[in-house]
C-alpha cells in the first residue's frame, strides 16, 4: 500500500497546537514557512499558497479576508466533504493561521449548496474553538481576533472559480471577474483576499507543526506534500485516499482495487483522460494536475457516452459570460452528436472542432472554458477510432 495518511491520519496533533506555535512566530515567519513548504493550491489550479499569502499580506488595504473554497463541484470529487466531516477543527485552525499570517480577522467558508448537512458540523467545531479561545477575540490571550462564517453557495459549478465565488459572496451573479486586479489586491468587497481550498487550509497546521522541510519530504520527486484523491467509477473500493504528491496513478488504482481499466479521468471533467497504457504517469502539477477527482472507466464503458455526459455538464454549467465558453461548449457537444449520428465520420471533418477546442483553451475568461475542451481532445483522439479522411474521397 502506498497511502501516506497525514491529513487523514487517525492520530491528529492537538487542536490549537499549530495555532499556538504560529502565534509565537511573526506573521512573516508563518508565511515564510508555508512558502518554503512549496504547497500548491489543492483545488486544482496549483497556485503556490505561500506566494498568494505573501501578496495578500503585503497588499495595502484594510479588512483583509480569508476565504475557504468549499464549493466542491468538480464531478467525482468528494475529498473536501470528507475533510470537513472528519477534520473540520484542522480546517478552521488552518484558516485562523492564515488570518494571522496575512493580517485578517475574518474568514468565510463558501460551502457547496449540496452540503447543507455540513453546516452543523462546522458550527460545532467553531463553537468548540471559541470555547477554547482558539477562535474569536484575543485568541490565546494575544491581541489577534479571528472569526469564521459559513455562507452556502447556490449550486453553480463556476463559483468554484475564485472570482466567481467572490462575486457570489457579494450577492451578485456568480461570474468570473477580469484579472488584474487579483483577489490578493482587490477581492471580496475590494478587500485584499485569499481564497484557498479546504484541503490547503487543512494541511497548514501540519506544515506549521512539522516544518516546511518535513512537508517537502512527503512528496515524490519535485512534488511536495500529500494529496487527497476521491476515486470513483469501476473500482472495488471507491473513496478518499491520501498519497504522496507525485505518485504514479497505478498506485492509486492499486490502493482502490481496480482491475479492468479502459480509461482514467484525472482532475475531474475538466482534467485529463488517459488510457490504460499511461498508468505510470504521475499525479502532479507537472503531469496530470490532481484536482482531487479520479474516475475509472472499465472496458464495458462507451467513451462517447462519457464525453457526451461531460460536455452536457459544461453546457449546463458555463456561466454564459464569455463567448468562447458559452458558445464553444455547445458546438463541441454538437460535434459529438454529429459523430454519433454518422454525419461526421473522419478526423478531417473534426479539424475545425479541434481548432475550436484550442481557441477555447487560450481565449476563455476563466478556468472553466479554458479546461472544458480537454475531455473532447483527450477522448476523441485516444478513444474514438475515426479514419483520417472521409470515406470515398
Closest CB 157 distance from other proteins, rounded Å: 10
Residues in the chain: 393
Closest CB 31 distance from other proteins, rounded Å: 25
Taken in order 308, 309, 311, 315, the sign of the CA dihedral is positive
Binding site for other proteins (CB under 8 A): 156, 158, 173, 175, 178, 180, 315-324, 326-331, 334-335, 338, 352, 355-356, 358-359, 361-365, 370
Closest CB 350 distance from other proteins, rounded Å: 10
CA distance 35 to 138: 26
| Identity of the residue, 67 or 344, whose beta carbon is nearer to other proteins in the bound complex | 344
| Identity of the residue, 160 or 328, whose beta carbon is nearer to other proteins in the bound complex | 328
Closest CB 330 distance from other proteins, rounded Å: 5
If we measure between CA atoms, which residue out of 73, 63, 39 comes closest to residue 53?
39
Peptide bond preceding 154: is omega within 30 degrees of 0, i.e. cis? Answer: no
| Identity of the residue, 149 or 312, whose beta carbon is nearer to other proteins in the bound complex | 312
Q: What is the DSSP string of 265-326?
A: EESSTTSEEEEGGGTTSBSSTTSS---SEEEEE-TTS-HHHHHHHHHHHHHHH--S-SHHHH
Closest CB 367 distance from other proteins, rounded Å: 10
Q: Could you tell me the CA-to-CA distances from 225 to 158, 207, 212, 219, 283 in Å, in that order? A: 27, 9, 9, 5, 12
| Identity of the residue, 148 or 366, whose beta carbon is nearer to other proteins in the bound complex | 366
CB-count burial class (<10 Å; 0-12, 13-18, 19+) for 363 = middle
β-pair type (64-70, 193-197):
parallel
Closest CB 53 distance from other proteins, rounded Å: 23
| Identity of the residue, 237 or 323, whose beta carbon is nearer to other proteins in the bound complex | 323
| Identity of the residue, 204 or 333, whose beta carbon is nearer to other proteins in the bound complex | 333
Closest CB 173 distance from other proteins, rounded Å: 7
| Identity of the residue, 189 or 359, whose beta carbon is nearer to other proteins in the bound complex | 359
Amino acid at each position: 500500500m502506498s497511502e501516506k495518511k497525514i491529513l487523514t491520519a487517525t492520530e491528529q496533533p492537538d487542536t490549537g497546537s499549530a495555532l499556538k506555535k504560529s502565534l509565537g512566530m511573526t506573521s512573516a515567519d508563518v508565511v515564510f514557512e508555508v512558502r518554503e513548504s512549496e504547497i500548491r493550491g489543492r483545488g486544482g489550479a496549483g497556485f503556490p499558497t505561500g506566494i498568494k499569502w505573501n501578496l495578500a499580506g503585503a497588499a495595502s488595504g484594510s479588512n483583509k479576508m480569508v476565504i475557504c473554497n468549499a464549493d466542491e463541484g468538480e464531478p467525482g470529487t468528494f475529498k473536501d466533504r470528507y475533510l470537513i466531516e472528519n477534520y473540520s477543527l484542522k480546517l478552521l485552525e488552518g484558516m485562523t493561521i492564515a488570518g494571522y499570517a496575512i493580517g485578517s480577522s475574518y474568514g468565510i467558508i463558501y460551502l457547496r449548496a449540496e452540503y447543507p448537512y455540513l453546516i452543523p458540523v462546522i458550527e460545532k467545531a467553531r463553537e468548540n474553538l471559541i470555547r477554547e479561545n482558539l477562535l474569536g477575540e484575543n485568541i490565546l490571550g494575544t491581541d489577534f481576533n479571528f472569526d469564521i462564517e459559513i455562507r452556502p453557495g447556490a449550486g453553480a459549478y463556476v463559483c468554484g472559480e475564485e472570482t466567481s465565488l467572490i462575486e457570489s459572496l457579494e450577492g451578485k451573479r456568480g461570474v468570473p471577474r477580469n484579472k488584474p486586479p487579483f483577489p490578493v489586491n482587490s477581492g471580496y468587497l475590494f478587500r485584499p483576499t485569499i481564497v484557498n481550498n479546504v484541503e490547503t487550509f487543512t494541511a497548514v497546521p501540519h506544515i506549521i507543526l512539522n516544518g516546511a522541510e518535513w512537508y517537502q519530504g512527503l512528496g515524490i520527486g519535485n512534488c511536495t506534500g500529500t494529496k487527497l484523491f476521491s476515486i470513483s467509477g469501476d473500482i472495488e473500493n471507491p473513496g478518499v485516499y491520501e498519497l504522496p504528491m507525485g505518485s504514479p496513478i497505478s498506485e492509486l488504482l492499486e490502493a482502490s482495487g481496480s482491475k479492468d481499466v479502459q480509461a482514467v479521468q484525472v482532475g475531474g471533467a475538466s482534467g485529463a483522460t488517459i488510457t490504460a497504457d499511461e498508468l505510470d504517469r504521475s499525479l502532479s502539477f507537472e503531469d496530470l494536475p490532481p484536482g482531487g477527482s479520479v474516475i475509472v472507466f472499465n472496458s464495458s464503458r462507451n467513451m462517447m457516452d462519457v464525453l457526451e455526459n461531460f460536455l452536457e455538464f459544461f453546457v449546463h454549467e458555463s456561466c454564459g459570460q464569455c463567448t468562447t465558453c458559452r458558445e464553444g461548449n455547445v458546438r463541441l457537444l454538437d460535434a459529438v452528436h454529429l459523430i454519433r449520428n454518422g454525419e461526421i465520420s473522419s478526423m478531417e471533418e473534426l479539424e475545425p472542432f479541434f481548432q475550436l477546442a484550442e481557441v477555447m483553451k487560450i481565449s476563455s475568461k476563466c478556468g472553466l472554458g479554458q479546461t472544458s475542451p480537454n475531455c473532447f481532445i483527450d477522448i476523441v483522439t485516444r478513444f474514438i477510432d475515426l479514419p483520417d479522411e472521409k470515406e470515398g474521397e
